[in-house]
């Protein structure tokens, strides 16, 4: 299966759809909103897991201010 959007792009689009639903409550019903929020949460977890995998299982180092 071909992936058309990157994970970060999908997150951006889901956030945009959720923002539009707040402006126009009749845009999505409650079940659709639940699925959008669930997809957003799962994608955020996926992106975090990919980041940790690339860093060898470790988190990121906090940048110290000079």
Asked whether the predicted pLDDT for residue 59 surpasses 70, the reply is no
Assigned token pair, 12: 């951006």
pLDDT of the residue at 50: 86
- Spatial contact of 5 and 13, defined as CB atoms under 8 Å apart: yes
Q: Measuring CA to CA, which residue among 50, 44, 40, 34 is closest to residue 16?
A: 40
State the pTM of this model: 0.76
pLDDT for the residue numbered 49: 86
How distant, in Å, are the alpha carbons of 44, 46, 58 from that of 53?
14, 10, 8
3-state secondary structure of 13: helix
Look at residues 17, 9, 12, 23 and name the one whose alpha carbon lies nearest to residue 36: 17
Q: What is the pLDDT of residues 18-49, one digit of tens each?
A: 999 999 999 999 999 999 999 999 999 999 88
């Amino acid at each position: 299966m071909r992936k058309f959007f990157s994970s970060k792009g999908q997150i951006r689009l889901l956030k945009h759809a959720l923002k539009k639903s707040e402006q126009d409550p009749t845009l999505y019903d409650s079940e659709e909103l639940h699925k959008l929020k669930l997809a957003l949460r799962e994608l955020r977890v996926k992106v975090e897991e990919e980041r940790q995998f690339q860093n060898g299982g470790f988190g990121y180092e906090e940048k110290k201010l000079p």
